[in-house]
């Protein structure tokens, strides 16, 4: 197996900066590569990155993005990636041992976000031409980051507006990986909108701190 994908991932981790959302996005994108390549070792690297980010499940409830549950002892997202790796190499003892070690690890050093510890993710099948929206309450003088990862079938449009309807971010140019990052001067509510600009449904993963 070539070590270049793993080396590239490690270099990207160093460039990702302090945001756990950046790290979670890197891990999920690396997992997509591992699926296409059938590469169990790279899938385990993706699992480690996602585990280190503290990523947990969220949901839109009453128009707001909230954690689905308290911070779990083991991340269901990480466990899912580990199981995928094991299925890719069912007879590989080294893969099985590494998978068990990752699964046994506990989250630590997680950066707190606006909704508790760790960044949040939720998945949604977004029909063609439709969009979803939710409100976030951001703390002042802290960077807020929202991103979406599509499956490549359709372009996505991500936008952020403040309480007066003024556009803070409008990302239409990033195809299936739009990202909005801003630093509110004070605590305030913002409206997030994510739309499918394509002609076919697309599966999206939304990440936010």
Domain match, 156 and 83 both: no
pLDDT band at 172 (very low <50, low <70, confident <90, very high): confident
pLDDT band at 150 (very low <50, low <70, confident <90, very high): confident
Q: Which burial class, exposed, middle or buried, applies to 194 when counting CB atoms under 10 A from its CB (0-12, 13-18, 19+)?
A: buried
Domain match, 160 and 194 both: yes
Domain match, 75 and 159 both: no
Domain match, 48 and 124 both: no
> Of all residues in the chain, what percent are helix, strand and coil, respectively (each to 5)?
35, 30, 35
| 19 domain residue, yes or no | yes
pLDDT in tens, 64-76: 877 776 555 567 7
Domain match, 13 and 108 both: yes
pLDDT at 48: 92
Domain match, 108 and 123 both: no
pLDDT in tens, 109-125: 333 344 445 678 888 89
Domain match, 88 and 156 both: no
Indicate the number of domains in the chain.
Answer: 2
Query: 201 near 152, Cβ under 8 Å?
Result: no
Domain match, 97 and 123 both: no
Domain match, 106 and 174 both: no
Domain match, 76 and 133 both: no
| 35 domain residue, yes or no | yes
Domain match, 170 and 78 both: no
Average pLDDT, the chain: 81
| 34 domain residue, yes or no | yes
- Expressed as residue numbers, the domain containing 74 is 4-58+69-112
């Amino acid at each position: 197996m070539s070590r270049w994908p793993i080396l590239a991932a490690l270099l990207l981790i160093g460039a990702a900066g302090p945001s756990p959302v950046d790290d979670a996005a890197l891990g999920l994108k690396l997992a997509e590569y591992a699926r296409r390549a059938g590469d169990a070792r790279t899938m385990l690297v993706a699992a480690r990155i996602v585990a280190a980010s503290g990523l947990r499940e969220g949901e839109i409830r009453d128009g707001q993005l909230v954690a689905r549950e308290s911070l779990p002892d083991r991340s269901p997202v990480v466990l899912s990636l580990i199981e995928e790796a094991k299925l890719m190499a069912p007879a590989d003892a080294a893969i099985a041992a590494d998978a068990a070690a990752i699964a046994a690890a506990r989250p630590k050093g997680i950066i707190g976000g606006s909704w508790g510890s760790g960044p949040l993710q939720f998945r949604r099948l977004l029909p063609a031409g439709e969009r979803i929206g939710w409100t976030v309450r951001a703390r002042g003088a802290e960077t807020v980051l929202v991103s979406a990862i599509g499956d490549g079938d359709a372009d996505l449009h991500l936008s952020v507006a403040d309480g007066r309807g003024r556009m803070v971010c409008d990302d239409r140019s990033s195809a299936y990986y739009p990202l909005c990052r801003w630093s509110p001067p004070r605590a305030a509510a913002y409206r997030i909108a994510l739309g499918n600009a394509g002609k076919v449904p697309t599966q999206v993963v939304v990440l936010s701190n």
